[in-house]
Structure 1
């Protein structure tokens, strides 16, 4: 099993045979041996518009590019912008890379950048990365000035979102529709989309960076996990994303890579009332639950025991997190009755709930479960109807920064505050993290906010999930990216 040192999916029903429906029989260019065949989980849901979550497909196929990229720690690196400077509290000036051609032959210019950013700001719905953000852009020569309504130290990181990928002006229609076919700037040009079944990309020989080693990509959308895993075994695909844990054992371990995901399974303990309003009772829950037992028994060892709310998908947390002191001592359960809630949409969570129930009963609690589909339980969870709620939660979204998660889940005004936590120390720590500059200062503030949350035991992290990627033995240099922004690069090829 290979583990990379660096670097939420909903299955959409699709009428495919169990064996899958695979592309590549009539590749546009290059012999079949020069092309990379990919089996992906989700078909496009929004016509591959970059202002939606479909943008991540364009990014993973290396066809659409952003002004800024991120390293493993979330630091901003040059992309289609070569550098940037903060010129005021609310303004940033970026230099547009020269010599870049879009796939339609037009040039990357500052005006093209402004066109994309302006349309993104007016899109309905807005790209997720711009939720709550008022952003405007203005061109002058090869410079673009990006201005926000309020100070935002994360503007460069926001511009790394695949939802803000820069396409040729010809991609954008007057009715608001966006067509990414032949309008990107990456090493592969999208030449054909076969509805929700396939996509075809060819090498773009006019690429400004390193020329792609593969002649092209033949993408198939295969929602069935068994078929997707089997596609690598049978040779129908070279790369299969998101292999189910149940199928991983059927593949050669040498073909698998487990990629840490920025997703944490957490016990949200209700601080509003009931037994969990007592900090000592929350501490008793924390002490009773054995996360390692859950990782081994439910996830077959294919997850990481949580050391905090933020996991190894953010590598800097591992080395920079300090041991947590001043924790509340566990109290006695005294037979207190509690209800555990979770949902069936993620198959592992009901199993997790059963193990948690057993351990809490061993600790002296009286426990019952309430397990439903997520659509039928979310509102009750947010309303505080459960003493313990088990949730698999993404901790990092488009900007590569977890502060928004900490605010939404654990502050007094948080929009997703299942625990009902309202702690002045937590709010102050999260506010400090929000205002900190990107880099070491912000990382330290984020870990201080995480520690403040953990001291309350309102959230008891259990584990951090991994995603399993299968690569055929002849695949060279595929990307393993916890943010799911990259799957192939210019270097990816078949030997």
Structure 2
């Protein structure tokens, strides 16, 4: 009897162990409207790219759930002079292939961001030198004082020097040219999840890193990421239980998802600003029936476009209220946002027509507009609405809406006349937008996403002051001046901040971040 009791107890304990393991060994299924275009963390500066690769790779500095700075692959940092930052690196960290993380990888990674093909040049373009003090201490010297440097490098992910050299991936490839190398579809980071399988635009799977140096709060042992560009299909997959989390939920389906017994929608403000840009550099537009000149060089034309767009109408009919019209290129929550200058020019078709007449285009003109159809909330529908609005001032828009896989390479090589873009300052500071979108483009990384080449030398002077000024009051004043100058120039056409809408099973617990990143390490799914 004692033997049988022991067997029964052993069987019970085994069952409990299996049950416990099963409860913890969960597969998380995530869907998004689009896919990461590459696994290379330096090849594209785009939030979905950062969000996906940020589960595999890490920076010296990470972000907490409230988006404040947290130690990452560096345990501490300090300024030793106005132009020098010292970082103490975390010891005992291993890349997924077992290679130790050291200062050599830091020097290599920062150098890699400045190579041809990198989309992160604007993050490190003010670096003068990155030097190794010892295996676990590095210094970054900048060309001028750079008080927000730790914020700026939070998305510069560290790569293994040895792995990149072994796999002929020493430099990132240029996504604008459609080139790939080993880092495009393979990965070797230090993060909480390992890349297991990569099928671009089909499926990407990740497995939990059992040797991760930090804490993984969530319980997902496996994460399967699937791009589903069709809104109806994506919602149906959530409602049927085929996926556990999806982003974004189309605004028209939020109520439906909330009313379903097993699903819910988590909403919140997003730090992304959607805007339109125009080629202001070429003497003749690439895609227009206007020959011999560029109408977008005329501020009156840019202003006419601005005032012909019914942003409240777009909010009401296209976004169903899930947007906040803006006059600024950064959102509330970004350091430097100033509500006193967040006043849009009035929607006024008659005023816009007069501006077009004054500029010499009483009959309007034709121009192509590039727009993604699987990147932002209702992106192609917004572009359709803009096209309809501009027809009222006799502008014929030849809309070219396409998947982000072809859209971004096209506009990033500036093969465009008129385009849509969304921007979330990765540093949560206005300097990021100023340096990447407002600055006159150069070969060092300034103005890297100023795809229409807007340029005002006075704005550039202010951007440099914003970067180096340590007095908060003065710095805020410089930011305000730069925004006001840009607004006066009609440098871009600000549209709105879209709202976040993540759909999920009620079995899922997660943290929604205002930058729209989705760290798998903070997601738990119940069996």
TM-score where L is the length of structure 2? 0.68
The residue aligned with 2:422 is 394
Structure index of larger Rg? 2
For residue 304 of structure 1, what is the aligned residue in structure 2? 324
Match of 1:236 among 213, 220, 242: 242
Q: Which moved more, 1:264-273 or 1:298-307?
A: 264-273
Q: Is residue 433 from structure 1 mapped to residue 466 from structure 2 by the alignment?
A: yes
What is residue 31 of structure 2 aligned with on the other side? 39
* Structure 1 segments unaligned to the other structure (5+ residues): 1-28
1:94 corresponds to 2:87: yes
- Per-residue deviation, 1:67: 0.6
Query: How much does 1:478 deviate?
Result: 3.7
The verdict on how the C-alpha distance between 1:37 and 1:468 changes in structure 2, with shifts beyond 3 A counting, is same
Root-mean-square deviation (CA, aligned residues, Å) is: 4.6
Tell me the SS of whatever aligns to 2:154: coil
Are residue 143 (structure 1) and residue 147 (structure 2) matched?
Answer: no
Counterpart for residue 207 of structure 1: 212
Q: Which residue of 2 aligns with 1:452?
A: 485
SS at match of 2:77: strand
Distance 1:146 1:382, change over 3 A: closer
Distance 1:82 1:444 in 2: 33
TM-score (norm 1): 0.71
- Residue 10 of structure 1 is matched in structure 2 by none
Q: Secondary structure at the match of 2:462?
A: helix
Give, in whole Å, the separation in 1 of the partners of 2:504 and 2:100.
Answer: 35
Q: Contact 2:390–2:396 (CA<8 Å) still a contact in 1?
A: yes
CA distance, structure 2, for counterparts of residue 350 and residue 82 of structure 1: 45
CA deviations on 1:130-174 (whole Å, 9 max, x unpaired) are: 57466533141531123456665554234211x523559557525
Match in the other structure for 1:79: 72
- Shift in alpha-carbon separation, 1:260–1:56, aligned structure 2, 3 A: same
Q: Compared with structure 1, are the counterparts of its residues 79 and 404 closer, same or farther at alpha carbon in structure 2 (3 Å cutoff)?
A: closer
Partner of 1:65: 58
Cα shift at 1:292: 1.3
Separation in structure 2 between the aligned mates of residue 45 and residue 152 of structure 1, nearest angstrom? 31
| Contact 1:294–1:355, Cα closer than 8 Å, also in 2 | no
d(CA) in 2 for partners of 1:286 and 1:43?
A: 31
Flag the structure with higher helix content.
2
Asked if the contact 1:65/1:165 (under 8 Å) is kept, the reply is yes
Q: Is the 8 A contact 1:102 1:183 kept in 2?
A: yes
Structure-to-structure mapping, 1:362-373, within 5 angstroms: 365-372=393-400
Q: How does 1:39-438 map to 2 (within 5 A)?
A: 39-43=31-35, 45-46=37-38, 48-53=39-44, 56=50, 58-60=52-54, 62-70=55-63, 76-88=69-81, 90-104=83-97, 107-118=100-111, 120-121=112-113, 125-129=117-121, 132=125, 135-148=129-142, 152-161=146-155, 163-167=156-160, 173=166, 175-176=168-169, 177-178=182-183, 183-186=188-191, 188-190=192-194, 192-196=196-200, 197-225=202-230, 226-245=232-251, 248=254, 250-252=256-258, 254-258=264-268, 260-266=270-276, 289-312=309-332, 314-316=333-335, 320-323=338-341, 333-334=353-354, 336=357, 337=362, 338-339=364-365, 341=367, 342-346=369-373, 347-357=380-390, 361=392, 365-372=393-400, 389=418, 391-396=419-424, 398-403=426-431, 405-406=433-434, 409-410=437-438, 423=456, 425-437=458-470
Gaps of 5+ in 2: 1-20, 170-181, 284-292, 374-379, 442-446
- Structure 2 equivalent of residue 9 of structure 1: none
Q: In structure 2, what is the Cα distance between the partners aligned to 1:408 and 1:220?
A: 29
**Shift in CA distance, 281/113, structure 1 to aligned 2, threshold 3 Å:** closer
Q: Is the 8 A contact 1:68 1:76 kept in 2?
A: yes
Other structure's SS at 1:164 match: coil
